[in-house]
Amino acid sequence: MKIIVGTKNNTKISAVQEIVSDYDFLKNPEVSGVETQSGVNDQPKSLEETILGAKNRAERVFKECDYSIGLESGLMKIPETKSGFMDVCVCAIFDGKNFHLGLSSAFEYPKEITRLITEEGLNATEAANKIDLTKNPELGSAEGIIGIVTKGRITRKEYTKQAIRGALIHLENPELY
């Protein structure tokens, strides 16, 4: 069983490695990461764009493997929130014919981070650094903004795992889908 993840981000690759070991049909997988482009903005600003980025990553790295996985985080409009947006992680698993999607829980960035993303075009890490939430230029490969605002209760890896588990529902229950 060979699984290719469309990234070199060790947090995302590690999340995949940890999750797939829980599934009998994915026994003894060889998981590797390959750098690829999402084909969308560095910081997606809609659910549609985030899904497209995940699907593009999965499809672009599908070569000589059983499954490929694309993971993309981005904003989506949510009414009644303080900023109008929440961040969500999308997992797209590609089997060579079909995509299987899953999403993480969503959370709201601090309002100023959202403003910097939507109005000034910064990505989440740049925005978090600009408001001094962190000085980590590799925030997306570390705990992520979610790790900071939840004080470590939910890390970027755990958040990513939620999306992966959601996408695996289809593969584990093909008779239902």
Read off the tokens for 141. Answer: 């490969």
The topology (CATH level 3) of 2-107+155-176 is Maf protein (3.90.950)
Domain ranges of the chain: 2-107+155-176
Would you call 90 helix, strand, or coil by DSSP?
A: strand
Per residue in 63-79, pLDDT (tens digit) is 999 999 999 999 999 99
Question: For the segment 93-105, what is each residue's pLDDT rounded down to a tens digit?
Answer: 999 999 999 999 9
SS3 11: helix
Q: What is the mean pLDDT of residues 45-61?
A: 98
* Pick from 75, 109, 91: nearest CA to 166: 91
- Residue that is written with structure tokens 């990234």 in the block: 7
Average pLDDT rounded to a whole number, residues 106-124: 96
How far apart CA 69 and CA 15 sit, in angstroms, is 11
Contact 155, 10 (CB under 8 A): no
* pLDDT of res. 27: 83
- The single-letter DSSP state of residue 142 is T
Closest CA to 9 of 162, 141, 163: 141
Q: How confident is the model at residue 140 (pLDDT cuts 50, 70, 90)?
A: confident
Instruction: Identify whether the C-beta of residue 7 lies closer than 8 Å to the C-beta of residue 35.
Output: yes
CA distance 80 to 83: 9
Q: Can you read off the two tokens belonging to residue 138?
A: 């590799």
Using one digit for the tens of pLDDT, what is the confidence trace for 1-35?
A: 999 999 999 999 999 999 999 999 998 899 999 99
Q: What is the DSSP string of 26-87?
A: G-S-EEEE-----SS-SS--SHHHHHHHHHHHHHHT-SSSSEEEEEEEEEEE-TTSSSSEEE
Residue 138 CB neighbours (<10 A): 11
pTM above the 0.85 mark? yes
